[in-house]
Amino acid sequence: MPDRTAPDASSAGRLSRRSLLAASAGAAAALGAAGLPVLATGTPALAHSKDKGKSRLRVEPLIPSRNRGIILYSVRDRISAAPDDSGVPYGFERVLARLAEIGYKEIEFAGYTQSTEILGRQITPTEIRKILDDNGLVANGTHATIRADTFQQQLDIAEELGMANIGTGSDPTSSSYKADWDAAADTWNELGRQARARRMRLYTHNHDAAYSFLLDSGPLDDQGRPTRSSGVRRLEYFFGKTDPRYVFFELDIYWAYVARYKHQKYVDPAGREVTDLFDPILTVADRTTRFPLFHAKDGDRDTSVPNGYQMTPLGEGDLNFQQFFQTIGERDFHHANWEMDTAPGGTTNRGQSLDFAATSYRNMSDLTIYLKK
């Protein structure tokens, strides 16, 4: 497993292409109360330091180059494309070569198929592994279907591709009730043991609903189910029910901030409406080595849409990746996979997703940290 030594986070770098938003007063207060650094953003790094102090520091990438990845869902249009004369790469061989040329070192899979017009048949995991190796790429995970009856077959594919992690893009359950999350935890603990036996970690990826409130108390409905909440969020309940040796998580940073925007209130057992703000940084910082992977997905704040954000290439939105990654620490342990669900440009702009991949890689590379020499 990778080194888990946390860095000395002395001060923040910043993205050069867009000013970052400072944390809200509430988030800053929560970070301070937890003993975590509260970073000023939108100002030059080390602006408070004298030149003499700067000479005792060195600058390094906040996300090491070896840990910068992409989930292929972002470029799914080009992975699945049939041969065409657009000049834009298509299929695994050409797209992975382009991603390596951009600078990405790691790949998270979102399926293992391409157009059968490329080879006259479907590509095999063995052939995909050769393409990875030929381009100096490493598979760091996958969004597969996680079920007990097919899990060993999924592990076989993951092992062939050289993955350290195997996961899914879905929540362990979509239920609001404890009993369903308890059952999911039992299943995931067992599957996690199986993954560990084959030197892999099992992980689940969140959307915003995973951080909504569990219905676990209060009056029962006509089916005998609780209708109110004690204030526990679904996935945070799952953290406590699963074994940290066997079950891990991939935080989608964009969806976590959507959850902060959407899921702020619950009705307590006494029928009172309670406001509780979710902090994505704190939910990771409290259990940072349960999160080997992240989706580094950016968004523009837009309260005119239901989610409160519109997806953008990384570094062109309003999410504070600098503060996020520096505060959670464990710089060598964490792996950041760029994702943008809306990256494909369709037939009118076939190269858009790969162009966005290049922009996002450059901006990910711009995140820096100052360390003691």
- Find all residues with CB under 8 Å of 229, minimum gap 6, and list them: 213, 214, 215, 216, 217, 218, 266, 267, 268
Per-residue pLDDT of 165-192, as tens digits, reads: 999 999 999 999 999 999 999 999 999 9
Residue type, 365: S
Q: Name the residue among 362, 284, 361 with its Cα closest to residue 6.
A: 284
Of residues 234 and 43, more confidently modeled = 234
- Does the structure show a pLDDT above 80 at 353? yes
> CB atoms < 10 A from the CB of 279, how many?
19
Averaged pLDDT, 194-198: 98
- Does the structure show a pLDDT above 70 at 358? yes
Write the CATH number of the domain with boundaries 11-372: 3.20.20.150
Q: How many CA atoms lie less than 13 Å away from 133 in the CB half-sphere?
A: 9
Q: 356 pLDDT band (50/70/90 cuts)?
A: very high
Q: In this predicted structure, what is the pLDDT of residue 236?
A: 97
Token readout for 336 is 């950041």
DSSP string, 251-310: EEHHHHHHHHHH--EEE-TTS-EEE----HHHHHHTTGGG--EEEE-EEEE-TTSTTSEE
